């Protein structure tokens, strides 16, 4: 009996080894289908002038979503939203007149600001006219109320009906104090979206953020380009009347001049804002500006394709990327098409490559794989926000979201960057796959720019879904880290959110192929696992996830 038992164990071990070998071989063969030729062709098509910059609710959108539906269908994927490849996203499009003038006046001071050069202003209220009329200007530091840091920039000040001026980023970055907020790494309190949200909660009529290149992470041209022309938003039940009447930006130079006119020094005010004892300062200045709007009720589409799970089809792994960019600007001299090749035709094309790899597997994944190309990311992560709050698949059955926003076009790296490093157990899946490529994980080298809050994975995180967002590594195999960082800085300065972000046939896509194969393996392992990964202890989203997953357990009892 002993020999029979040992023989059976040996035979079982051989069978298990062979099965594992078949699975691994299946995975490796599928990886090889992710190649530069088809990836580059999709990027070139999506970022071509024919697609007109992929503005939501435009002819460029029609071409983009038709292209994606055709490609997903040809690969054999099924519609991900019932019988449809699309999820309709209701938007409002607000085009403000660009002959705006903003007047700021005080006891012995008056200045009329030049639109786009000195200030940007708009309204997200769904009305024809919105304005400030001699609204008192109050400096509120970083405009943050953060109980967990015992911080309140609005303490002991009433800003109802007033205009608040707010510094960009947060006190941790400003002081480089690792014990303050999250030190050099931006928190959500540092994002412009939060600052406008908090100003509205405080009852402010106007909110203007002071732009600084380093603290914001991009130059003024990004501000003037991103917030001019048609602006999109989702519409609340109150037609967004809970938003500030006017939102906007001031250049640092302009804000300095305005406060000088009130006898105040902006640099000194900024220094005082670094302290927990900071108190808001009324400037004695008044702001007047009127925004005339053309309001359109619009429709855009998220594209949803799926590969049904063979064992647990109700549990899903999501790959996401935004398909949209800024379209084209009528009357703009020279090249007026914002092609968005790197941002984010590369991420959208990566969806197709990874979908192709999954479809070539001989053994289909146990869990369902969703490929989600979302709209209006450039307008404030709107498509992913709509999906997260109106999910096709429940959040408590969504295993993870893997977001791709700008693939590596610089070549092979020895590492891969995890934006929001230290957040979730997804990093274990990524580390295992990276090790097989001889690569290591590294945290974001520019955490002060708040990239974790600037792409679509953030909306999944907000509803508790563990979300993974990687960026290309820093240690280039030939040129090293300094070279890579310089290339990234050049892109931000020269091409980010500009018409010059165009497909370049000279890109080195070997790094992109590595990253796509890496993320494919992460999704493959998630799809064939039985567990649900979680956020690490202490993460701000863990309680949301745990409550959501517990609701599933309760419902099953």
In a domain, 1, yes or no: no
Task: Tell me if 320 is assigned to some domain.
Answer: yes
Do 270 and 365 reside in the same domain of the chain? Answer: no
Q: Are residues 250 and 391 in the same domain?
A: no
Cα 323 from Cα 446, distance rounded (Å): 25
In a domain, 543, yes or no: yes
Tokens at residue 363, please? 């053994």
Band of pLDDT at residue 230, cut at 50, 70 and 90? confident
170 plus 197 within the same structural domain: yes
Using the 3D structure, point to which of 276, 295, 314 is the last residue of a domain. 295
CATH of the domain at 334: 3.40.630.10
Shortest CA distance to 172 belongs to which of 273, 253, 280? 273
Q: Residue 16 falls within a domain, yes or no?
A: no
In a domain, 433, yes or no: yes
The answer to whether residue 321 sits within a structural domain is yes
What confidence score (pLDDT) does residue 55 get? 95
**Do 312 and 184 reside in the same domain of the chain?**
no
Claim to verify: residue 323 and residue 272 sit in the same structural domain: no
Residues 303 and 405 in one domain: yes
Rounded-to-10 torsion of CA 17, 22, 24, 26: -170
Looking at 263, 295, 327, the residue that finishes a domain is 295
Per-residue buried b or exposed e for 112-132, using 16+ beta carbons within 10 Å of the residue's own CB: ebebeebbbbbbbbbeeebeb
What CATH number should be reported for the domain holding residue 220?
3.50.30.30
Instruction: Read off the pLDDT of residues 450-507 as tens digits, 9 standing for 90 and up.
Output: 889 889 999 999 999 999 999 999 999 999 999 999 999 999 999 999 999 999 999 9
**Into how many domains does the chain fold?**
2
Based on the fold, state whether residues 378 and 403 are members of the same structural domain: yes
Separation of alpha carbons 88 and 408, rounded Å? 30
- Whether residue 4 lies inside any domain: the answer is no
Q: How far apart are CA 371 and CA 100, in angstroms?
A: 41
Question: 218 burial class (0-12, 13-18, 19+ CB within 10 angstroms)?
Answer: middle
At 67, is the secondary structure helix, strand, or coil? helix
Residues 174 and 216 grouped into a single domain: yes
Q: Are residues 65 and 139 in the same domain?
A: no
Q: Are residues 539 and 477 part of one domain?
A: yes
Residue ranges making up the domain that contains 532:
31-91+299-552
Residues 486 and 344 in one domain: yes
Among 253, 272, 295, the domain boundary falls at 295
Beta pairing partners, 94: 231, 295
Same domain flag for 318 and 182 = no
Instruction: Render pLDDT for 252-307 as a digit per residue (tens, 0 to 9).
Output: 999 999 999 999 999 999 999 999 999 999 999 999 999 999 999 999 999 999 99
pTM of the predicted protein model: 0.84
């Amino acid at each position: 009996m002993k020999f029979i038992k040992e023989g059976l164990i040996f035979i079982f071990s051989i069978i298990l080894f062979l099965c594992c070998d078949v699975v691994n071989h299946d995975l490796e063969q599928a990886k090889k289908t992710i190649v530069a030729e088809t990836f580059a062709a999709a990027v070139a098509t999506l970022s071509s002038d024919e697609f007109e910059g992929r503005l939501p609710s435009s002819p460029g959108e029609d071409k983009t979503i038709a292209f994606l539906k055709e490609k997903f269908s040809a690969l054999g994927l099924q519609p991900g939203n019932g019988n449809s490849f699309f999820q309709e996203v209701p938007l409002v499009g607000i085009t403000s007149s660009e002959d705006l003038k903003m007047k700021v006046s005080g006891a012995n001071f008056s200045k009329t600001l030049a639109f786009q050069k000195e200030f940007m202003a708009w309204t997200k209220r769904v009305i024809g006219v919105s304005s400030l009329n001699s609204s008192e200007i109050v400096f509120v530091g970083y405009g943050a109320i953060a109980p967990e840091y015992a911080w309140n920039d609005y303490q002991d000040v009433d800003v109802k009906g007033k205009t608040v001026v707010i510094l960009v980023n947060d006190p941790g970055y400003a002081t480089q104090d690792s014990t303050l907020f999250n030190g050099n790494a931006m928190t959500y309190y540092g994002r412009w979206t939060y600052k406008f949200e908090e100003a509205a909660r405080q009852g402010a009529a106007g909110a203007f953020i002071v732009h600084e290149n380093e603290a914001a992470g991009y130059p003024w041209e990004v501000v003037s380009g991103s917030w001019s022309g048609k602006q999109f938003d989702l519409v609340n039940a109150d037609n967004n009347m809970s938003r500030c009447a006017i939102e906007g930006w001031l250049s640092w130079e302009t804000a300095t001049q305005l406060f000088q006119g009130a006898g105040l020094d902006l640099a000194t005010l900024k220094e005082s804002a670094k302290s927990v004892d900071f108190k808001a300062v009324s400037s004695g200045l008044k702001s007047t500006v009127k925004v005339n709007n053309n309001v359109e009720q619009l429709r855009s589409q998220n594209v949803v394709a799926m590969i049904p799970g063979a064992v647990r089809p109700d549990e899903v792994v999501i790959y996401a990327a935004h398909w949209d960019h800024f379209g084209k600007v009528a009357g703009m001299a020279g090249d007026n098409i914002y092609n968005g090749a790197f941002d984010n035709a590369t991420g959208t094309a990566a969806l197709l490559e990874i979908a192709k790899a999954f479809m070539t597997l001989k053994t289909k994944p146990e869990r369902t794989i969703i490929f989600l190309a979302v709209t209006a990311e450039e307008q404030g992560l709107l498509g992913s926000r709509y999906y997260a709050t109106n999910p096709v698949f429940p959040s408590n059955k969504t295993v993870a979201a893997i977001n791709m926003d700008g693939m590596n076009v610089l070549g092979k790296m020895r590492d891969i960057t995890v934006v929001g490093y230290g957040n979730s157990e997804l990093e274990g899946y990524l580390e295992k796959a990276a090790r097989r490529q001889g690569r290591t994980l590294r945290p974001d080298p520019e955490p002060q720019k708040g990239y974790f809050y600037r792409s679509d994975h953030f909306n999944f995180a907000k509803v508790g879904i563990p979300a993974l967002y990687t960026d290309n590594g820093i240690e280039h195999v030939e040129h090293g880290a300094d070279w890579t960082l310089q290339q990234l800085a050049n892109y931000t300065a020269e091409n980010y959110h500009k018409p010059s972000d165009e497909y370049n046939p000279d890109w080195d896509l070997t790094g992109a192929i590595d990253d796509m194969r890496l993320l494919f393996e992460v999704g493959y392992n998630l799809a064939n696992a039985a567990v649900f990964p979680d956020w690490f202890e202490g993460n701000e989203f863990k309680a949301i996830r745990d409550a959501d997953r517990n609701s599933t357990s309760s419902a099953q009892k």
